[in-house]
Structure 1
Amino acid sequence: MTALSVLDLSPITQGSDASRSLANSLDLACHAERLGYKRYWLAEHHNMPGIASAATSVVIAHIAGGTKTIRVGAGGIMLPNHAPLMIAEQFGTLAALFPGRIDLGLGRAPGTDMMTARALRRNLEASDNFPQDVVELMGYFQPAEEGQRIRAVPGEGQDVPVWILGSSLYGAQLAALLGLPYAFASHFAPAELDHALEVYRTRFQPSAQLDKPYVMLGLNVFAAPTDAEAKLLFTSLQQAFVNLRSGRPGQLPPPVENYDRDLDPVARSMLAQALSCAVVGAPETVRQGIDAFVRRTGADELMVTVRPHRAGALLRDPRGRAQIDVASRLTAGRLSTGGRKRSRKTHLSEAPRNSVRRHSRPDHSDCDVFARAGFTSVRAYRAANRPQNWRFSTVPGRGSAWWMRCAGCLRLVPPVLIYAPTARP
């Protein structure tokens, strides 16, 4: 079965800011972890008003620190922007903090425009040395040899799998030569997809890291209860892409009805080509689209890219194992309460700092009703939101707070982990 992972650019939506974007990314990572996704990657982009993941290794630490099992990594680090030693130290530190969970994907593009690349103190010819820089970086992760004068500490001896990213034959050839896994950016540059896969698979040379080719492909996925709603959500990405290609990058815009109908032929053709690897629709439509894409490409893993304007729009696992992210929907004020008016609970990322007390959460691993980032069903929310399920308790060393009785296992749970009640129910 093809593994599923997530690529997140931490999009900053119109009317929002980087703080909210990074909080949304952590919520999404927790949701992906519960659904069984394999890894969660962030990407390096600079001078982009709509992307909050410029300091990629810092955001990786933020995501890894808020999750438990999902692999977290870079998809990717644009290596010509950095000294290989510095990246080895950064990701060696991440691997020391989160053992066995850190990935490092490497690309050779600047991740920005040429003027910004110069501001990064980048040598614009550095991409010519990309293969040598990759080999040098991988060397820093090896155990230090006696007399070695330059060492990555932390870094040496750390288990940090290295990937090669690409959208052309260059990356495919390098990944094959070095025996590394290959991630192709088909979610925005699919033109060379089939040729690159053929080159990588036919020229692959086994290595200490990998004994046979392993391909991960980017795929835009927008799932919603209906095809029409999913197509509407997809227009945010379409607008952002047109703005970027037109030299007007900005924050992620809200969806627009019938957006492509009013596009000029050039923009419509560009979108049809650049975003051709996209699956948009209701769960069954998405399932069929993903299966067809995997059959055509033979992908070992899919890196699902999601950039909905509304944080709660990623409500479903693309395989159809649907779960509603109730916490995000509550934040957006969209949860149906069956006609009865209920007091609104504030999501942790929205709550004023002085209204949130942090408590350690009891172990609810045997309870499938209460989850770290929100309730897993509308029924669970309604049950737990009944006034009789709230208790005002004093916890030794932690002060007083309103606690919620878990609807699944009947134990008391500190609600401030998920919600900061603004008033007594």
Structure 2
Amino acid sequence: MAGAQIITGHVLCFTASPFEVPAAESARIEEAVLVRDGSVADVGTLDSLRQAAPEAEIHRFDKHLISPGFVDAHVHYPQTAIIASWGKRLLDWLEQYTFPEEMKFQDPDYARQIAVRYFDLTLANGTTTVASFCTSHPASVEAFFAEAQARGLRAVAGKTCMDCGAPKGLCDTAQSAYDDSKALIERWHGADRLSYAITPRFSPTSTPEQLEALGALWAAHPDCLMQTHLSEQKEEILKVVSLFPEARDYLDTYEAHGLLGARGLYGHAIHLEPRERARLAEVGASVIHCPTSNTFIGSGLFDLTARVADGIPVGLATDTGGGSSFSMLRTMAAAYEIAQLTGTALHPAQLWWLATAGSARALHMSDKIGTVAPGMEADLVAIELASTPGIAQRNARAENIWEAVFPTIMMGDDRAVKAVWVGGDKVLKLNAKGNG
């Protein structure tokens, strides 16, 4: 771990949710941040921090935004190699692309190879925490957590459980899903900066018996998260209705089996019924907005403003590889565009908050990550706000910090990411081949 260090720049410090206070008043900009022993020790002026820590090494990023590292609340790391596959909707996507690729993860060496590539790509894009589905193979979870642990990352993952509706080589059973997940929880949950999420893929690939078993496992380990998918596409919802005719709605297929709770993460949640919205809000469960995926495979337009008005916590995610980018900048841009189509122009502060503090809140980690404040873990990213000529010429006209940030949200990519710190350690920005 690096010694004391001071990072200068436009240090972004959220003080409130920009959905709950005027967006432009939700954060303040400080001149510098002091990092010590892997955590944020203080924020303030460079002079004051120098006086507090005269021994600190100084890293100058004076024209950059110093932000919390991005938090990607719903991903599929096993789909890294099939990102940007052409032309399918959800159920066909699974059959043609996803399931054949996930079969390869029974090979631990292949799982390790993809885990390395995945974290190379996410760190290069400034993402320091992800919540990932793995495959049904315990080796895929081992590979993910081992690589995240080696890099010192805060990360969430779980074995994807499915005992029907998938190729035989990917199917487990109700009992093996319980047993494998329990063993993985005991091995990884709470190890260093790692957390386990009990992970039924979605109702069409789990029998009621498996959902019941996973609900019992969650009840036995209530400090775990639980992640799944909900109401992503209309064809999917019709399939759920045919498979669970007794259910009141899609959410009820989880609720009836003990899989609805405050620590639940429900990916997509586009086509919700009024009862579902009310129950999600009532229990405090989070829904995860996956905008590039929702457009790429034609799922629909998530109404972020309406879900916030419902009182439902919302996180933001790439959903790679159904999502079409590893970049949370691109994901913010897509969220802005979709909100425009549903009648709202999201403020840049709202977009950035969703990709940091908002997703941290959805993952129940807002006491650890997502903001730059004393006591928080020092996962940070330095973002250049004039990383390309097109961005630079618009940035030059900015009259305030949010006008300066917005062109990078809309047009930025990994070229804007100039430095990343994980637990206070500066990590190399890697290119897509994994070379420094």
TM-score normalised per structure 1:
0.39
RCO (CA 8 Å, sep 6+): is it higher in 1 or 2? 2
Which one has a larger percent helix, Structure 1 or Structure 2? 2
Which one has a larger percent strand, Structure 1 or Structure 2? 2
